[in-house]
Structure 1
């Protein structure tokens, strides 16, 4: 993400890795919609390894901003991609064929109250994930880098 060509490691989860591969190989023509839900590819820098890590995530929109939910399926712990972007908020994003640099940040409590319904409309299961965990599931805002 500093202009050099580095190897990008895809999600170790089999079905996610297959989705990412389809997305990348088709340059976003396939994979943007996954079971009818819009997805993007997020590349973060590993907080411990320093390696680039890529995963596919459901997203929503708020104007020019892209929104993500760090649900981890309602698990008690945050997903690795979220921990990575909290350590280094400079990320790379691919939405369909479009690729851009962005800065990621966790929404404030006030922003989350306003934006959570946007994400719950995109993927209603998020409400169930929040209900099944005591963890406050973060909502992430991606803003294009200037």
Structure 2
């Protein structure tokens, strides 16, 4: 059976001290642990992160889909979680984090910076037809 995309990225992340290949080559990544809001099943999702002070920010873009990703709903139901954070240069740290959607003022500032410096996210915003949530992962 072929390895799915997320499984491949998780494997690469763990085998290479947080470094993964395309389409994330050289980018800071996180393996975000989350518990299913309905199922209670623990899952792991690889995501790119952006720094904002002492928190790591992840984007609930789902590649520009019209709905939010499952991990977003799971974090809203179970915000206390674990993140395996890589800096893109070979450092990985496993942290207990508190997940929370960025408040409007912070969201606008961070989202503007992300879109200006990472064009694909502006494309996602255009195609999604929704406000894309930004979730802060604050170490506890």
Assess same fold via TM > 0.5: yes
- Alignment match of 2:40 (pick from 37, 40, 50): 50
- Alignment match of 1:113 (pick from 98, 101, 108): 108
- Paired residues in the alignment total 132
Q: 2: distance between equivalents of 1:38 and 1:122?
A: 14
Normalised TM-score (structure 2): 0.85
- Alignment match of 1:141 (pick from 105, 111, 136): 136
Normalised TM-score (structure 1): 0.82
CA displacement, residues 8-37 of structure 1 (integer Å, 9 cap, x when unaligned): xxxxx8112101111123443x32992232
Q: Which runs of 4+ in 1 moved over 4 A?
A: none
Aligned position for 2:13: 23
Structure 1: runs of 5 or more not aligned: 1-12
Structure 1 residues 76-87: aligned runs within 5 Å: 76-87=66-77
Backbone CA RMSD of aligned residues: 1.9
- 1:120 CA drift (Å): 2.4
Structure 2: runs of 5 or more not aligned: 87-91
- 1:123 CA drift (Å): 2.8
